[in-house]
Amino acid sequence: MSRRCRSCGAEIRWARTEKGKRIPLDDEPTVKGNVTIARQGDHVIASVLGPMEAEIARQEGRTLYLPHHASCPQGAAWKR
C-alpha cells in the first residue's frame, strides 16, 4: 500500500521488519537500495541488508528498495 510522506509528500510504502518495526520505503525499487520485501499473508516483511548482502542481491537481480529516510530531505528528523 502506497502513502505519502508527511514531510516531503513523496510516494512511500510501509513494511514491517522481521522484528515487527514499521519502516517507510521509497515507493519505487532502486539499484541503490538495501531492503528486500516479501509478502507474508496480509503483511509486507522488509529485510534490511548489509552492504555485502545488498551487493549480492544486486548481482542476483533481486528487487531492492531504499528506506525513505535516506532519500527524504527531512529524513534525519524521522530516523530513530
Q: Could you report the per-residue pLDDT of 11-52, keeping only the tens digit for each?
A: 999 999 989 999 999 999 999 999 999 988 888 899 999 999
Question: What is the distance between the alpha carbons of residues 55 and 6, in angstroms, rounded to a whole number?
Answer: 31
Average confidence (pLDDT) over 48-59? 96
Q: How far apart are CA 14 and CA 27, in angstroms?
A: 9
CA distance 58 to 44: 20
